[in-house]
Amino acid sequence: MKAIISHMGFEFKSVIRDKTLLLMNYLFPLAFYFMMQAIMPSINKEFSKYMIPGMTVFAVMVSTLLSMPNPIATSKEKGIYRSYKIYGVPLKSVLLVPVITTMVHITIVSIIILITSTSFFGSTFPKQFLNFCLVYFISLFAFAGFGTLIGVCSPNNRVTVLLAQVIFIPSMLIGGVMMPTEMLSQNMQKISKILPTTHCMNALGALAFNKKPVYSISSSIIVLLLGGILSFALAAYLFTWDSKSDKPIKNLLGLAALLPYIISIFI
Amino acid sequence: MEPILCVESFSKSYGSIKAIDDISFKIYPGEIFALLGPNGAGKTSTLECIEGIRKTSNGKITIDGVNPEKEFFKVKKILGVQLQTSALPEVITVKEAMKMFCLYSKTEIRYDLLEKFNLMDKGNTQFGKLSTGQQRKLVLAIALSHNPKLLILDEPTAGLDVSTRVMFHNIMREEKNKGTAILLASHDMNEVEDLADNVAILLKGKIAALGTPRDIITSGKSLIKVFVKTKYSSASSLKLTQGFKMEQKDDYTVFYCEDIEELLFIILRHIKDSKDKLLDLKVERASLEERFIDITGGGKPYESNN
């Protein structure tokens, strides 16, 4: 346990020490949030209502999809995980410690968003705060699973960026972060269910802000939980201690993490 | 005495490519065993299988009776490894690295090793900001932190300055005297000749030579060089019939031989008979490096003699 605590201490500090991680975990999501606060209310008066869920889910996406996978792929490529194995660091620590520390950093950013948006920008505070926390952590779990899986399946940083963008960009466009899903056409609404963001925003809106759900709340929660479990299970199964042991064909199995989301389209 | 490392009929294939083909050797406590070979000979594959990070295709590897592939975390307690590329996270500090890996190894935190390796004043410096020598020292300190019975050093002194290299050599000798077995992979033949008790030369996945450095050096043909300089160059006219090779290098006639006593007798008699005067005579024994080039320079690998 002492080893894991020491490892967590180092991983936590590494986000502060590494400029790229600091940018992705703190500066980028917070700068984007402040920019949105300045621009969006004049364009869309309703934005203040879904500012908190939108911006917290955005922060979660940036940290988990754009930031988390790179250190995993780099550690494999540079032989850092190989050293870890030789020095006795178990797989569960290698996979879970960065996830837990990333979750702490994202939660700090989310708290900043929550406090400043209600105090200074008049955004709607979650009506059911406990529900907000519950859905927030389920969403975090689902995205952290995706981030870890992308890192595990990617042979290098270029591929992690590519894979992360495949989820990140559509999530921004049709996942309900920038505009409500209700504004999309029926067909686009169906397609958007393949994205975890859609389910996060649906569950957050309905359970924390008493909004009318676009889709079944329980199915959104189950899809996120199943997606997270499947992602972590696949990440543990496909994990290799160095990139030499990577099997690209086998890594295609990682796509199976999308199954709960794909199935949700037909529910 | 029981061997600490036992490699028996070990083979490793990557798909259809056979990287290692049926090699066997043993390392005993307090022994420095060097693994030599040109790039691609199979050194890294051998080390990785011994370290337990790759699976063997055939044969058996045991470290103190434990199979590293099946019981990696048990082997970890008796195995210390310094990898060729000192790979730790760039932003981990020296003290953090020592603390974290000692805790994972369930040993006391060995800051004393940081003192010993002159790293204590760099305790809060991030790994990425250390020099290559300091990085290697830190990785070696971590490898030694749990007092391993077998220490694997993969090119530990490559690219290091002389003083750091000497420090590493002293540490290896110190560990050997403590009874630690050391498996050393190196391209530095002088280092191997100086430190190793036994050497295996790998070539195309097979052991091409195995024995003490002296055994390997003396197993070659025409490996003693005799440089002769005379007043009237009579040595160059010497006809040697017993298989001695000779060539002219500047003012010297160089003879290559196995039996120096016989050669010297012939040369000296010839000089006397020719009424010439001996000006200089030098004898040079072949080095491990020359023998290594001799073995690996297109030679056909022999079978393992173990």
More confident of the two residues B246 and A160: A160
pLDDT of residue B178: 92
Q: H helices then E strands: how many in chain B?
A: 10, 13
Nearest residue, CB atoms, A89 vs list B96, B99, B104: B104
Distance, in Å, from the CA atom of A11 to the CA atom of A102, rounded to the nearest integer, reads 9
Among A78, A83, A243, the strongest candidate for a mutation testing the B interface, having the largest count of B CBs within 10 A, is A83
Helix, strand, or coil (residue A185): coil
Q: CA-nearest residue of chain B to A85?
A: B53
- With tokens 């004049």, the residue in question is A42
Indicate the range of A1-10, A48-57, A137-146, B126-135 predicted with least confidence: A48-57
Instruction: Give residues with Cβ within 8 angstroms of B86, minimum separation 6.
Output: B132, B135, B136, B138, B139
Q: What is the pTM of this model?
A: 0.80
If asked whether residues B214 and B235 sit together in one domain, one would say no
Instruction: Please check whether residue B190 is in contact with residue B286, taking contact to mean a CB–CB distance below 8 angstroms.
Output: no
Which chain A residues are Cβ-neighbours of B76 within 8 angstroms?
86-88
Q: Are residues B154 and B187 in the same domain?
A: yes
Q: Within a domain: residue B292?
A: no
Top mean pLDDT of B66-80, B189-203, B206-220 is at B189-203
A chain contacts of residue B148, beta-carbon cutoff 8 Å: none
Q: What is the mean pLDDT of residues A205-232?
A: 92
Does B278 lie in the same domain as B165?
no
Q: What percent of chain A has pLDDT over 70?
A: 99
pLDDT class of B242 with cuts at 50, 70, 90: low
pLDDT at residue B275 above 90? no
Task: Read off the DSSP letter of residue A24.
Answer: I
Mapping DSSP to helix (H, G, I), strand (E, B) and coil, where does residue A150 land?
Answer: helix
Contact A242 B90 (CB under 8 A): no
Say yes or no to pLDDT of A76 above 80: yes
- What span, in angstroms and rounded, lies between the C-alpha atoms of A175 and A172? 6
In this structure, the strands spanning B224-230 and B79-82 are: unpaired
Q: Do A86 and B81 touch (CB under 8 A)?
A: yes
Query: pLDDT at residue B66 above 50?
Result: yes
Residue B131 lies in a domain: no
Task: Output the six-digit token pair for B45.
Answer: 């594959």
In a domain, B84, yes or no: no
Asked if B62 and B168 sit in the same domain, the reply is yes
The upper half-sphere exposure of residue A111, i.e. CA atoms within 13 Å in the direction of its Cβ, equals 6
Are residues B235 and B214 located together in one domain of the fold? no
Residues B11 and B27: beta-carbon distance below 8 Å: no
Looking at residue A31, what is its pLDDT? Answer: 93
pLDDT tens readout for residues B73-100: 788 888 999 887 768 999 999 999 999 9
Print the domain residue range for B21: 5-78+148-218
Cβ–Cβ under 8 Å, residues B142 and B97: yes
pLDDT at A106: 94
The residue-averaged pLDDT of A78-95 equals 90
The answer to whether B88 faces chain A, any CB pair under 8 Å, is yes
CATH code where residue B185 lies: 3.40.50.300
Cα distance between residue A228 and residue A260, in whole Å: 10
pLDDT at A38: 84
Per-range mean pLDDT, top range of A21-25, A136-140, A181-185, A247-251: A136-140
Q: What is the tens place of the pLDDT at every residue in B99-153?
A: 999 999 888 999 999 998 889 999 999 999 998 889 988 999 999 998 899 999 9
pLDDT of residue A246: 65
- Whether residues B87 and A18 touch (CB distance < 8 A) is answered with no
Is the predicted pLDDT of residue B42 greater than 60, yes or no?
Answer: yes
Q: Across the interface, do A7 and B126 touch by the CB < 8 Å criterion?
A: no
Burial of B2 (0-12, 13-18, 19+ CB in 10 A): exposed
Same domain, B183 and B242: no
Min mean pLDDT across A39-48, A214-223, B34-43 is at A39-48
DSSP state of B122: G
Reading the block at residue B63, the tokens are 């470290």
CA angle in degrees (0–180, nearest 5) for B115-B116-B121 = 30
Residues with Cβ within 8 Å of residue A14, at least 6 apart in sequence: A21, A71, A101, B89, B91, B92
Q: Is residue B247 part of a domain?
A: yes
Residue B280 belongs to a domain with what CATH number?
3.30.70.250
Which chain A residues are Cβ-neighbours of B142 within 8 angstroms? Answer: 87
CA distance B213 to B46: 20
Give the Cα separation of A174 and A179 in Å (integer). Answer: 8
Clarify whether residues B157 and B281 are in a common domain. Answer: no
Phi, psi of B209 (to 5 degrees): -160, 145
Predicted local confidence at residue A225, as pLDDT: 96
Residue B39 resides in a domain:
yes
What is the pLDDT at residue B241? 60
Residue B18: predicted pLDDT: 84
Higher pLDDT, A162 or B304: A162
- Candidate from B53, B73, B100 with C-beta closest to A7: B100
The pLDDT value recorded for residue A30 is 94
**Mean pLDDT computed over every residue of chain B:** 86
How many distinct structural domains can be found in chain A? 1
Q: Which long-range contacts (CB under 8 A, 24 or more apart) does B232-239 make?
A: B232/B274, B232/B276, B232/B277, B233/B276, B234/B270, B234/B271, B234/B274, B234/B276, B235/B267, B235/B270, B235/B271, B235/B276, B237/B274, B238/B266, B238/B267, B238/B270
Same domain, residue pair B238 and B183: no
Residue B118 lies in a domain: no
pLDDT above 90 covers a percentage of chain B that reads 31
Q: Is the pLDDT of residue A81 over 60?
A: yes
Compute the average pLDDT of residues A190-197.
91
Residue B303: predicted pLDDT:
38
- The HSE-up count of residue B90 (CA atoms within 13 Å, CB side) is 13
pLDDT given for residue B221 in this prediction: 64
Q: Where is average pLDDT lowest: A96-110, B111-125, B226-240? A: B226-240
Distances (CA, A) of B303 to B37, B205, B208, B254: 15, 11, 7, 33
Domain that holds residue A137: 2-265
Q: What's the longest Cα–Cα distance across chain A? A: 57
CA distances from B165 to A74, B157, B281 (A): 30, 6, 34
Q: Give the model's confidence band at B240: pLDDT under 50 very low, under 70 low, under 90 confident, else very high.
A: low
Which residues 23-62 of B have a C-beta within 8 angstroms of A? 51, 53-54
Query: Closest by alpha carbon to A107, among A99, A96, A97?
Result: A99
Confirm if B102 and B69 have CB atoms less than 8 A apart: no
| Domain annotation covers residue B139 | no
Amino acid letter, residue A257: A
Asked whether residue B202 falls in the same domain as residue B261, the answer is no
User: How far A94 CA lies from chain B's nearest CA (Å)?
Assistant: 12
Q: Write out the DSSP string of B199-235.
A: EEEEETTEEEEEE-HHHHHHTSSS-EEEEEEETT-GG
Q: Are residues B278 and B188 in the same domain?
A: no
Task: For residue B79, give the chain A residue with the closest CA.
Answer: A86
Minimal Cα distance from B77: which residue of A? Answer: A88
Average pLDDT of chain A? 90
Cα dist from B24 to B74, B123, B206, whole Å: 23, 42, 9
DSSP state of A244: G
pLDDT band at residue B299, thresholds of 50, 70 and 90? very low
- Give me the number of domains chain B comprises: 2
Lowest mean pLDDT among A92-96, B4-8, B83-87, B248-252: B83-87
Asked if the structure places residue B210 within a domain, the reply is: yes
Instruction: Assess contact for A15 and A105: CB atoms under 8 A.
Output: yes
